[in-house]
Structure 1
């Protein structure tokens, strides 16, 4: 979902109650974030049998970063629904604080002692859970991470929200559609040194090389440092510096909300388009008042659903987590990528037609 700017976003957002959810929603690891890990995913030496029957009566424990958080409630309810459909049992445990790493360790140990068949974990820290998770796997428990990964050798598979490439390219595609593929655009990022933000921006620049964007010009990348006030001011500065600006992409939940706040109270409302990564609860009012047409993120319920189905497939022996293995989850067939990463798919686009269907 990892020491990226998403973690910085999380720290900034957690200080504001109304944004606390966005902190966790943006806290996941994407495929690019784990690709640098040299270790291979956990492998017991077993071979996958894609034709094996799906086992029933399994118990899968979900361990989110924080219980009673709307984002993880939505994700885990997606997992619960999937497990009920598959004839298995759902169990949720977890800390009440989104920063309780030691608490997560104790919950992993508890699930191991309870001899669950599998567990789905959103890791607070890439390495802190490794010893406990390896102990779980040595006891025959299948381990899936979702939303936020640990090291590849400390779990069987990681269900990633979306790939860095998809996140970067689709934001350009969204904005270009809104401005009619013509005009000056800017990017409002987090910190200038933020690895994941820069990775996404790299894909944005590459997407803009396509001939269909020949009339779209990226004039500036501004940095709000995942601070609401700075992002607000940066938005104001962009519009003063570039009076013909047609659109802004903000791939950070802090930035997109701050930019929407500025635009909604200015003469640019509805004229300068804004998209990026945000949560429905943060952005709902701006979609409804015409400031924002559409933005994107991933659907946490679908993420939890896939995490549950991956756990059952592992416990049933249909997959082991090796690169190239395939399995069917619902109506979709997924292929396991490098380091045991499974991509949920392209981000979910939120607009006036569907935004009220989501609560996170």
Structure 2
């Protein structure tokens, strides 16, 4: 395993790192190191029986700290790291913008993290920094939101993008009776997963089955509660004939529900998307939201930690078809481009929402 550097970082030093990153305008793919620089954990032949060391340094870098969704996901990662008797760390920016994660990646690489698990705010802005960390020996695992595949070792996908898109389209279509105007309230304009889902939902809605449904607008709340609240308000004011809104982001869905539930549009405009049961419970109970979907974010973080540890230990190298054990979740297989799918999404409604606590 890597020889880790243990030292404290003062606020001033961290500020200096962030200032330097800002002055350079961030690191993007094609600048500095070539894409595709491999990690030490990903080289050589896989040994499925290799022992996972008990002192692996596994660091989680979410899109932003204090986002309820990523708090749950990172705590799932912490659970796995504790089972593996490793060293868990969580760092990240307070705002989810394209280059905000670069300085943290640089610092984690310098500190010698064996595994960096990150949900990317932008598919390319973090690539240079991630590849530098990989060349220094870190295994890079993306979860929730991917980078260019050349910039990481493994990607933990919540569910297939097709399943998520289809589920959300089916939910909104059922709730509006198969016809009418709808809009999307997304996260950030550059979020990889959000854009993929939006594209696939547009394709699905373009089929004959949904010919009576029209997408009239797409807005972005930047995964900020107040901005998402304001964007939902703006949608309903701008489009008086709106029949429904799909928000494939936990922050956006909860904020939109908060506005809708206190407005004259409650019961008139359908709202669905991706959210956590604890955030959405009150809105399901009071009839603001009929149903929504998600995977278990704690399991997502848990799987990311086990996958990263397995590669750092040499049990896998990230090649398609390889399998590994992920603790209580059981066995998983690596797909094309290092993708590992957690499983199908769950639809939550009044009948089952109290069965979940996350």
Task: Kindly indicate whether residue 235 of structure 2 is the aligned counterpart of residue 234 of structure 1.
Answer: yes
Q: 2:292 aligns with which of 291, 295, 303?
A: 295
Instruction: State whether residues 45 and 317 of structure 2, in contact with CA within 8 Å, keep that contact through their aligned partners in structure 1.
Output: yes
Q: 1:152 aligns with which of 149, 152, 156?
A: 149
> Structure 1 residues 40, 177: CA separation in 2 closer, same or farther (over 3 Å shift)?
farther
> Structure 1 residues 251, 139: CA separation in 2 closer, same or farther (over 3 Å shift)?
closer
Matches within 5 A, 1:311-326: 311-326=308-323
Instruction: State whether residues 56 and 309 of structure 2, in contact with CA within 8 Å, keep that contact through their aligned partners in structure 1.
Output: no
Instruction: State whether residues 105 and 129 of structure 2, in contact with CA within 8 Å, keep that contact through their aligned partners in structure 1.
Output: yes
Which residue number corresponds to residue 188 of structure 1?
Answer: 183
Instruction: State whether residues 261 and 283 of structure 2, in contact with CA within 8 Å, keep that contact through their aligned partners in structure 1.
Output: yes
| CA deviation map 1:36-68 (0-9, x unaligned) | xx965837552224x424424141322324555
> How far is the alpha carbon of 1:160 from its aligned partner?
2.7
Which residue number corresponds to residue 339 of structure 2?
Answer: 341
Which residue number corresponds to residue 308 of structure 1?
Answer: 305
Instruction: State whether residues 318 and 334 of structure 2, in contact with CA within 8 Å, keep that contact through their aligned partners in structure 1.
Output: yes
5+ residue gaps, structure 2, are 1-33, 222-226
**Distance in 1 of aligned mates of 2:137 and 2:215:** 52
Q: 1:120 aligns with which of 112, 117, 121?
A: 117
Which residue number corresponds to residue 76 of structure 2?
Answer: 78
Matches within 5 A, 1:1-360: 42=38, 45-49=43-47, 51-65=48-62, 66-67=64-65, 69-85=67-83, 87-95=84-92, 97-98=94-95, 100-112=100-112, 116-123=113-120, 126-127=123-124, 129-130=126-127, 132-178=129-175, 182-190=177-185, 199-207=196-204, 217-226=212-221, 228-236=229-237, 238=239, 240-241=240-241, 245=243, 247-252=244-249, 256-257=253-254, 259-261=256-258, 263-265=260-262, 269-270=266-267, 272-280=269-277, 282-329=279-326, 330-352=328-350, 353-354=352-353, 357-358=356-357
Q: TM-score, normalised by structure 2?
A: 0.69
5+ residue gaps, structure 1, are 1-37
**Distance in 1 of aligned mates of 2:92 and 2:36:** 29
> How far is the alpha carbon of 1:266 from its aligned partner?
5.1
Instruction: State whether residues 60 and 90 of structure 2, in contact with CA within 8 Å, keep that contact through their aligned partners in structure 1.
Output: yes
**SS of equivalent to 1:47:** coil
**Distance in 2 of aligned mates of 1:139 and 1:96:** 23
Which residue number corresponds to residue 21 of structure 1?
Answer: none
> Structure 1 residues 40, 334: CA separation in 2 closer, same or farther (over 3 Å shift)?
farther
RMSD: 3.8
Runs of 4+ in 1 over 6 A off after TM superposition: none
**Distance in 2 of aligned mates of 1:55 and 1:325:** 17
Q: TM-score, normalised by structure 1?
A: 0.68
Q: How many residues align?
A: 308
Instruction: State whether residues 75 and 300 of structure 1, in contact with CA within 8 Å, keep that contact through their aligned partners in structure 2.
Output: yes
| CA deviation map 1:169-221 (0-9, x unaligned) | 11122334556xx4424321248x9576564344335545788x57x831343
> How far is the alpha carbon of 1:251 from its aligned partner?
3.3
> Higher mean Cα deviation, 293-302 or 326-335?
326-335
